[in-house]
Structure 1
Amino acid sequence: MIDVKPSGIKAVVFDLDGVIIDTEEVWEEVRRGYVAEHGREFLPDTQDRMMGMSTGEWSAHLADEVGVPRTAEQVAADVLGRMAARYREALPLIPGSVEVVRALGARYRLALASSSARILIDQVLETAGLTGEFEVTLSTEEVPRGKPAPDVYLTAVAGLGLTPADCVAIEDSSNGLRAAGAAGLTVIAVPHGVYPPAADALAQAKLVVDSITEVTPEAVARLV
């Protein structure tokens, strides 16, 4: 094993969707299908806007702006139920992501800051065998504002008893990168091939990689 020289980084904060599991296309398929069943269709910017939104935010968007004739609470329950069913059928883990989590966890403290609902976070971590790897797990539904606001990252860092300067964030989406950057963490970007981040969001990253498997303990140590 290669020794990693100590750095100023004490913890790594993971996003979930697009970093550990490849679900952005599943989310889009499920929500588009749900909207279509109610005789509505996505607005031109709906998909981009919803990436990073909390459960309360995206369900309100579908109900209030897209026009699904259900309350935001009903929309959330309907869609989350469908997503949970999809995860039970097959969990779309990104190749190598579980190994990366465990390798980084051997050297750094870990947290999770996700836009997924708590019920989905817990199910994914249990199915993937990762529940015990994270000291702190947070959903944006548990903080005042979803991504791109920095709330979920600031709360996760505080839960570790650290400062943003002590932490690295791993993100894939525009709103996630903006959130981590606004919170003051050192940012690693793993751009999604189907939903690439905007240029201004990608500029938040100190390191851009093609695959999560490139995020090794050595790569994290070199950031500082």
Structure 2
Amino acid sequence: MSQKILAAVIFDMDGVLIDSEPSWQAAEFNVLSQLGLTISLEEMVQTTGLRIDQVVEFWYQRQPWDNYDNQATADAIVDKVAADILTNGKAMKGVIQALDTCKNRGLKIGLATSSSSPLIDAVMQKLDIRAYFDAICSAESLTFGKPHPEVYLNCAQALDIPPTSCLAIEDSFNGLIAARAANMRSAVIPAPHEAKQPRWAAANCQLSDLTELESYLALI
């Protein structure tokens, strides 16, 4: 990988900036269960990092239901997640510290998420962090979401920074694949119960939380 000088940090949102995975899992479980699916919360981790329409399609292919309407099902899930974030959303450990570190180092800051605009708005409002971001990109209207790299490439372009000069911060393997495919440096912050899985070796580094970002940036 090119060792060009780092010029930007691009954050994933869910599970990196905000502890939204429980909200997603609860909303998906609630909506899909009402459609008649037999699914466990443990099985929900299979779709972490995917765009919501991909999640709905994933489960429909495995347990088809009558009157399939991907958009309506996706919207129902997103509405529940957004409402829960605005009420109960909590920042992941070290978010403000990490964003301040990037600003203080003169790095541009981007957001590359699979989540839709209503979710982005809910998170930015709840955490009051929109002013930090130089570019915000969603995969919601792209042909492919993560693990396809397009949302990362779009964000690098919006920042006017070459992908090889960007560091992507992810929590999911699908997101990590997207970042690597975009030819970016990658830092992964997996959920604690997944932290010892060997697949995270695909990242340039593994962090416990965002408080460790400053130390890692000092090494680049």
Aligned to 1:3: none
2:44 to 27, 44, 47: 47
1:106 to 100, 104, 114: 104
Aligned to 1:179: 178
Alignment pair present for 1:190 and 2:165:
no
Aligned to 2:19: 22
Question: Alignment identity in percent?
Answer: 27
Aligned to 2:127: 128
What displacement does 1:65 show?
A: 3.7
Aligned-residue CA RMSD in angstroms? Answer: 2.2
2:34 to 14, 37, 46: 37
What displacement does 1:195 show?
A: 4.7
Closer, same or farther in 2 for the Cα pair 1:205/1:68, shift >3 Å?
A: same
2:50 match: secondary structure: coil
C-alpha distance after superposition, 1:15-52 (max 9, x if no partner): 11111111212211221122112221238995244212
Partners of 2:196 and 2:10 in 1: how far apart? Answer: 19
User: Where does 1:75-86 land on structure 2 (aligned, <5 Å)?
Assistant: 75-86=73-84
Alignment pair present for 1:220 and 2:217:
yes
What stretches of structure 2 of length at least 5 have no aligned partner? none
Aligned to 1:4: none
What displacement does 1:167 show?
A: 0.5
Counterpart residue identity of residue 121, structure 2: D
Closer, same or farther in 2 for the Cα pair 1:203/1:16, shift >3 Å?
A: same
Shifted more, 10-19 versus 140-149: the winner is: 140-149
Closer, same or farther in 2 for the Cα pair 1:93/1:116, shift >3 Å?
A: same
C-alpha distance after superposition, 1:93-145 (max 9, x if no partner): 11221221122123210000112111101220122111111111111213221
Aligned to 1:153: 152
Closer, same or farther in 2 for the Cα pair 1:143/1:199, shift >3 Å?
A: farther
Q: TM-score, normalised by structure 2?
A: 0.88
Counterpart residue identity of residue 29, structure 1: A
1:56 to 53, 64, 71: 53
Runs of 4+, deviation exceeding 6 Å: none
Aligned to 1:141: 140
Partners of 1:52 and 1:22 in 2: how far apart? Answer: 13
What stretches of structure 1 of length at least 5 have no aligned partner? 1-6
Closer, same or farther in 2 for the Cα pair 1:44/1:191, shift >3 Å?
A: closer
C-alpha distance after superposition, 1:150-198 (max 9, x if no partner): 1111111111111111100111111111111111111111111245585
Partners of 1:26 and 1:195 in 2: how far apart? Answer: 18
